[in-house]
Homo-oligomer: A and B are copies of this chain.
C-alpha cells in the first residue's frame, strides 16, 4: 500500500489520498467504538484547552483566510461567518466542554427484555455508526463542533470545510490531533481533508470504498442539494425549512401574536423560522390585522391573497411560488384557510416536513394537528424557532434531518449511533 503524506499540502493523487483517509478513519473507528467515556472526554477537554492555548496560532491562520476572502470581495455577512476572535474561540472551547459533560450514548441499553418461551435475555445497545463525513461551508467552528459530537458518540469523522476556511479549519483540527494523542486515542479519529480540490467532495460522497457510513452536510441549500443528489451513502440533512404556524380559530390572540412574531422574526435566517402563517377564516377579520400589525412593526413584509388583502390592505400580492419558498428573510406569506383540514392540507402540499405548529386553546384541535401532520417536528402553542437540539434538551446537534430514516429532527449524540442486540443465554438450543 502506498502511504500518502496527507499533511504536506502537495497531494498528487487525490483518489489514493482520499482512500487512505477512509482506511485510517475506518481503523480509528474500531478502537474509538470501544473507547471509554473517560478517554473521549479527556480528549475533548484537552482540545478545549488547546483552542485557548493556541489562540494566537489559530487567529493568525484565520487572519489568512480573512485576507483571502477580502481579496475575493466576499460579502460582509460571509466574512463575518469566517471570522474568529478570542470571544468566539472561547465559545467553541466551552462547547467542547459542554459535550464532554453530556452522557456517553455508547453502551446505553435502549431496551432490555426476556423472551418468555426461550428464556433469552436480550438487550438493544447503542453502538457508534462508524465513520461520518461532514461537509460544511464558511463557519470554522463547525470543525470543532462536528469533531466533538462525532468523537463523543464514538464515530471517526472526516471533515471537509470550504476552501475559504482552510487555514482556520486546519489550525483547529491540529488541536484535535494533539488532544487525541494525549488522550491515547487514535489521532485519525478526526481527519480534515487538506486539499481544496472539489473532486474530493465527490469521492467522499461515494463512500471511499465503503469506509464512510453517513454524510452530514452543514451549509446552504446548494451544498445540501449537491450532497443529496450525489451521495451514494445515507445523508442526514434537510434541504428546506418551509415551516408553518397555523392560527386556529380557538387560539388566544395575544399568544398567537407573540408566538408568530418570535417564530418569524427572532432570527429570519434559520431553518426553523416560520415562512408561512395560516389563519382560520373564522377569526381572520380580527386576528389578521393584529398579527400583521406586530409583524409589520418589526419590519416584516407580508404577502397574501385577495381575501387577506380585503382584511389587511398592507398584504402584498402573493403568488403560487410563495407557498413553496423558504425566504430566510423579513418576508412572510399568509393564507386564510377554511378550517383545520384545509390548514393540514396546505401543510401536506407545501411543508418541507421540518417543523409545523398549531396555535390553539382547543386541546382536541391540537391533538388532531399533532397526529395528522407528517413532519419531523410538530408543535402546539410554541415557536417553531425551538426546532433545535439544544432546545430539545439533547445538548448539541450536528444538524436537523427531514428524511424518514434513522435520524429525524435534531441530530444529536443518540442519532449518531446505531444499535446491536446482545443476547445472553444459558445453553439454549432452538427447537426444530
Contact = CB atoms under 8 A, between A and B. Distances in A.
Interface residues of A, number: 63
19 contacts: A115-B393, A213-B404, A259-B428, A259-B429, A377-B423, A378-B422, A378-B423, A379-B422, A379-B424, A380-B424, A381-B424, A382-B428, A383-B428, A383-B429, A386-B430, A391-B430, A405-B406, A408-B418, A408-B419
B213 A427 contact: no
A interface, by DSSP: helix, strand, loop or mixed?
mixed
Contacts of A266: 429-430, 432
Contact of A33 (B255, B374, B393): B374
B262 A429 contact: yes
Nearest to A115: B393
B420 A382 contact: no
Contacts of A426: 381-382
A115 B390 CA distance: 10
Most chain B CB within a 10 A radius of its CB, from A130, A214, A266, A393? A393
Interface stretch (A116-124, A168-176, A201-209, A323-331): A116-124
Q: What's the number of copies of this chain in the assembled complex?
A: 2
B371 A423 contact: no
Given A374-B127, A375-B420, A405-B234, A427 B118 contact: no
A32 to B, nearest CB: 12
Given A107-B371, A259-B427, 20 more contacts: A118-B391, A120-B391, A122-B392, A214-B405, A234-B405, A259-B428, A262-B430, A370-B422, A370-B424, A376-B420, A377-B420, A377-B421, A378-B423, A379-B424, A380-B422, A385-B430, A386-B425, A386-B428, A405-B406, A405-B418
A275 to B, nearest CB: 16
B404 A113 contact: no
A246 to B, nearest CB: 14
A217 interface: no
B393 A122 contact: yes
Given A266-B430, A429-B383, A430-B266, A129 B404 contact: yes
Interface of A: 30, 33-34, 107, 113, 115-116, 118, 120, 122, 127, 129-130, 213-214, 234, 252, 255, 258-259, 261-263, 266, 348, 366, 370-372, 374-383, 385-386, 391-393, 404-406, 408-409, 418-430, 432
A419 B414 CA distance: 14
A372 B107 CA distance: 11
A354 to B, nearest CB: 11
A116 to B, nearest CB: 7
Contacts of A425: 379-382, 386
Contacts of A427: 252, 255, 258-259, 381-382
